[in-house]
Amino acid sequence: MISVSQLTKVYGQTLAVDHISFEVAQGQIVGFLGPNGAGKSTTLRMLTCYLPPTSGGASVDGLDIFHQSEQVRSILGYLPENVPLYTEMKVHEYLDFRGRLRRMDRSTRRRRMGYVMDRCWLKSVEHKTIGHLSKGYRQRVGLADALLHDPKVLILDEPTVGLDPTQIRETRKLIADLGGDHTLLLSTHILPEVEAVCGRVIVISGGKIVAQGSPDELRNSRKMSARVLVECRGPAREVEQALARVSGVGGVELLDGQSDHSMVTAALRPKEGYDIREEVARTIIQHGWPLREIRLEHATLEEFFVQGTANQAMGRA
């Protein structure tokens, strides 16, 4: 449904998006994940024909974003970052204006406005001025606008920023419901969001795609092995050396070690196929260091995110 190839955007001297390529199949919900400034919004702005690419191209439903811009825009629904709206207008006036702009006839407009206001919980504020609404409601007005013309493809730039936890949950549910009928590409830097709603994740950092796959695939990738956290009282350096000698331990990292005989927290990376917990506990006790905690920690997507983007940053430095 969305096909991106070698898409690149240069602002002056800055390379914002660096030859990225990916595909989104029909009905998929794809999360576009990355830290701030990674090039997410720029990519989405190119896909929605707001900015032209410096080189490379993309198509939406077979239509080229540069040469068939108007057709592309008519099948796209877009929620820009920060949800810009005409604050002096009332909610229903705004949606009516957007509907007219999209050349929807009166009866279609009325039907779709009723539907999207229902879907986005806007019925109660229909006659209120947008400028007087809370951030959460404005976000929903933006979402309602993006859905108004029943677009084949929905592109949402950070759809849950500024919402309270209940609204976030409801919005995610709405997004999940929309998948299937619509193809969705949403950007976020919030990981649970991706894990909650997206069938596929594209991790972007420094304008490049650093990983893609389903949330499970990313979690299970080799880089993402579990780690064991150990907290004990002992001399930091000795503890580190002793733990490194335990069979099956691939690496030791001190997270929080101070001077001698204070608390040490270490993260151990086991070699593949090893459960090192018992051996680690025995070693610590043999040395007479009081053991406070030992815990196996499964990798989260968050770690992957931090790792992937950190590696990227190091690679560039």
Binding site for other proteins (CB under 8 A): 11, 45, 48-52, 70-71, 73-74, 76, 78, 80, 82, 84-89, 97-98, 100-103, 142, 145
Burial class (CB in 10 A: 0-12, 13-18, 19+), 1: buried
Nearer to other proteins, 94 or 305 (CB): 94
Q: What is the spatial distance between Cα 22 and Cα 3, in angstroms, rounded to a whole number? A: 6
Nearer to other proteins, 103 or 316 (CB): 103
Q: What is the spatial distance between Cα 127 and Cα 135, in angstroms, rounded to a whole number? A: 17
Among residues 314, 259, 265, the alpha carbon closest in space to that of 294 is found at 265
Helix, strand, or coil (residue 228):
strand
Nearer to other proteins, 143 or 218 (CB): 143
Give the type of residue at 312. Answer: Q
Nearer to other proteins, 49 or 201 (CB): 49
Nearer to other proteins, 103 or 237 (CB): 103
Q: What is the closest distance, in whole angstroms, from the C-beta atom of residue 171 to other proteins in the complex?
A: 19
Nearer to other proteins, 44 or 232 (CB): 44
Q: What is the closest distance, in whole angstroms, from the C-beta atom of residue 72 to other proteins in the complex?
A: 8
CB 306 within 8 A of CB 33: no
Q: What is the closest distance, in whole angstroms, from the C-beta atom of residue 183 to other proteins in the complex?
A: 17
Give the type of residue at 101. Answer: L
Q: What is the closest distance, in whole angstroms, from the C-beta atom of residue 43 to other proteins in the complex?
A: 14
Q: What is the spatial distance between Cα 185 and Cα 198, in angstroms, rounded to a whole number? A: 9
Q: What is the closest distance, in whole angstroms, from the C-beta atom of residue 179 to other proteins in the complex?
A: 22
Question: For the chain, first and last CA: distance in Å?
Answer: 36
Q: What is the spatial distance between Cα 221 and Cα 299, in angstroms, rounded to a whole number? A: 10
Q: What is the closest distance, in whole angstroms, from the C-beta atom of residue 107 to other proteins in the complex?
A: 17
Q: What is the closest distance, in whole angstroms, from the C-beta atom of residue 93 to other proteins in the complex?
A: 8
* Rounded to 5°, angle at Cα 155 from 113 and 157: 105
CA torsion angle 254 255 258 263 (round to 10): -100
Q: What is the closest distance, in whole angstroms, from the C-beta atom of residue 16 to other proteins in the complex?
A: 12
Q: Where are the alpha helices (DSSP H) in the chain?
A: 40-47, 69-75, 91-101, 106-119, 135-147, 165-178, 191-197, 215-220, 236-245, 277-286, 301-316
Nearer to other proteins, 22 or 94 (CB): 94
Nearer to other proteins, 148 or 246 (CB): 148
